[in-house]
């Protein structure tokens, strides 16, 4: 049995909800790894990566001086804007909108919103942002 990860720890500094990522869901649902197809990941924070996407470009993240990118004076920085544009275009989500919501509300409210937004209508599992698939029951939503 895998160690439970606190849901808050699945929100990366960049605003990515690792809990709705295909690599995390494959790991969490014990889906066998397939070279080049199925990747496993426990999330950025549990792996102590802080943000796999932009940490290499950010000294504040490297040095653990901020928890979320919105705490930085350069927010949103160029690397975050590039990442946000890619995910907005490919998957219809905005990390910057996620971060603004967390900043303006609470992490608990954001988590509640995410859980409702990505809940599988068939089984109550989690819908993946990358392929709109519920890894618990194999339902694909659109």
pLDDT of 89-134, one tens digit each?
999 999 999 999 999 999 999 999 999 999 999 999 999 999 999 9
Q: Which domain holds residue 89?
A: 7-117
pTM for the whole structure: 0.88
Asked whether the predicted pLDDT for residue 56 surpasses 80, the reply is no
Three-class DSSP category at 127: strand
Q: Is residue 98 part of a domain?
A: yes
Mean pLDDT computed over 62-80? 93
Distance CA 130, CA 91 (A): 6
Q: Is residue 69 part of a domain?
A: yes
Q: Is residue 102 part of a domain?
A: yes
Distance CA 2, CA 94 (A): 30
pLDDT at position 36 = 67
Average pLDDT along the chain: 88
Mean pLDDT computed over 60-82? 92
Q: Is residue 33 part of a domain?
A: yes
């Amino acid at each position: 049995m895998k160690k439970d990860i606190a849901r808050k720890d699945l929100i990366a500094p960049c605003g990515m909800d690792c809990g709705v990522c295909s690599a995390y869901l494959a790991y969490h649902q014990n889906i066998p790894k397939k070279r080049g197809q199925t990747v496993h990941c426990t999330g950025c924070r549990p792996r102590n990566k802080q943000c796999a996407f932009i940490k290499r470009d950010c000294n504040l993240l490297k040095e653990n001086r901020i928890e979320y990118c919105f705490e930085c004076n350069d927010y949103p920085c160029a690397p975050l804007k590039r990442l946000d544009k890619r995910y907005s275009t490919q998957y219809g989500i905005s990390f910057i909108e996620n971060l603004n919501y967390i900043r303006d509300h609470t992490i608990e409210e954001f988590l509640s919103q995410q859980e409702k937004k990505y809940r599988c209508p068939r089984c109550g599992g989690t819908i993946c942002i990358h392929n709109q698939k519920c890894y618990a029951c194999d339902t694909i939503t659109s």
